[in-house]
Structure 1
Amino acid sequence: MHATNERLKMSLYAALMAGITAILAQLTIPLPLVPITGQTLAIGLCATILGSRYGTLAVALYVAMGAIGLPVFSEAKGGFSILVGPTGGYIIGFIISAYLTGLLLEKTRFSLAPAIAANIIGMVITLIFGAVQLKFAAGLTWDQALSGGVYPFLVVGVIKAVLASILGITIRKRLLAAKLLPVHETKAA
C-alpha cells in the first residue's frame, strides 16, 4: 500500500509540473524563427525536482496535452501539427532532456554543481533536437538552422539552466525536508 501511495503522490507531482510547464511556456520573447520561452526552464525544474522517471512523466504529460490540442505550447498553441512543424523538435527534445538531466542527477548528486552541468547538457540536447527538425521542417540549410535555432539560445539557455538548478535543488531540498518526496527515489543533496 505504501509503494502505491508514493507512486500516486509522485504521479500527482508530475501532473502538477506538467501544468507549471504549460504556464511557463506562455512566457515568450519572440524571435524570427523560434521564440525564447519559459518551457526550457520548466523542463529543467521537472527533472531537477522529480528525477528521471517522474520528471520525464511530467514532460511527457505536457507534450501529450499539447499534442491533443490543448493550448499549452508557447503562445497558447496546441495540436499535433506543432510537433511536426519547425519548432516541434524542441518539444520532442524536452522529453529526452528531462530524462537525461534527471538520470545524470541520480547518478551523481542532487546538488548545485551537478544540477547545473546536467541542466546545461539537457539544454544542449533540446537544441540539437530542435535544430535538426527546424532544418528539415523549414527547409533550411544547417547554417540557417543553427543561426536561427541554436546560437541565439546558448547564453539564455545557460542562464535558464542555472536558474532551474538553483530553484530545483532548493525546492527539492524543502520537499525532502517536509517528507513530501521519497528519499529512496534518488540520492539526496
Structure 2
Amino acid sequence: MVNNGGFILYNSNSKLRVIIICGIFAAITAILAQIEIPIPIVPISGQTLAVGLTATIIGSRYGAIAMICYALLGATGLPVFAGFKGGVQVLIGPTGGYIFGFILAAYVTGLILEKTKFTITMAMIANTIGMIITLAFGATQLKFVLDMTWGQALVTGVYPFIVVGLIKAYLASWLGITVRKRLIQAKLVPQTNKQVA
C-alpha cells in the first residue's frame, strides 16, 4: 500500500484508482460548468467552484491531473465546457485561458493545503490564490486573442468575477474540507498530521 497524492493507493490497481478519481472530478467540473450566468464575452460559471473543490478534496497532483483530463475531454469535442461547448476552438478562443489556468490553480491550491493545514481558513486562502491564477490566465489570453489593452482585459475578464469568485472560494473551502473529512472517515483519504480532526 502506498500513499500517493493524498489518496490511499494499492500497488496492484493504483493506476485504475487514479483514473477513476480524476475522472470523477473531471465529470464534476463538466457538470458544474453548465451552471452559468451569461454576461458578455466571459460568462460566470461553476467551473471555478469545481476547481476549488477538486483541489481541496484530492490535493495538488490529482487536482491538476483531473483538470488536464477535463481540458482534454473538451478538446476532443465533448460538450463539457461552459454552455455545453467543446472543441479545440474553445481552448484557443477568448475564454480558453481560464481553462488552462484551472490546471495550475488546482495544483497550487492543493499544494498550499498540503504544505500547511486542511482547514477552512487555509482552504479559503489557497482557493483565493487559485482564483487569482485562473483570472490572470484568463485575462492574458483574452487580451491577446481579442487584441485588447490590459485595461480592457481586466474590465472584461477580471473585475466582474472578483466578488463571485470569493464567494465560490468560500463554498469550495467549506464543502471541500467537509467532504475531505468524510473521505478520511471512510478511509479513502489518509489522516495526516496537517489534517484537522
TM range (shorter): over 0.9
The DSSP-based 3-state class of the residue aligned with 2:80 is: coil
Correspondence 1:114 to 2:122: yes
1:27-50 Cα distance to aligned partner (Å, 9 max, x none): 000111200000000000110000
The DSSP-based 3-state class of the residue aligned with 2:23 is: helix
Correspondence 1:12 to 2:32: no
Distance in 1 between residues matched to 2:48 and 2:148, nearest whole Å: 23
The residue number in structure 2 matching 1:36 is 44
- AA aligned opposite 1:148: T
Deviation of the 1:7 alpha carbon: 5.0
Runs (4+) of structure 1 exceeding 3 A deviation are 3-8
Selected match of 1:168 from 173, 176, 189:
176
The residue number in structure 2 matching 1:188 is 195
The DSSP-based 3-state class of the residue aligned with 1:140 is: coil
The DSSP-based 3-state class of the residue aligned with 1:91 is: helix
1:49-98 Cα distance to aligned partner (Å, 9 max, x none): 00001111111111110011110000000001111110000000000000
Deviation of the 1:6 alpha carbon: 4.7
Deviation of the 1:179 alpha carbon: 0.6
Identity value in percent:
60
Correspondence 1:102 to 2:110: yes
Structure in which a larger fraction of residues adopt helix: 1
* RMSD after superposition: 1.4
Unpaired segments ≥5 residues, structure 2:
2-9
Unpaired segments ≥5 residues, structure 1:
none
Alignment map for 1:119-138 (pairs within 5 Å): 119-138=127-146
- Contact 1:17–1:58, Cα closer than 8 Å, also in 2: yes
The residue number in structure 1 matching 2:7 is none
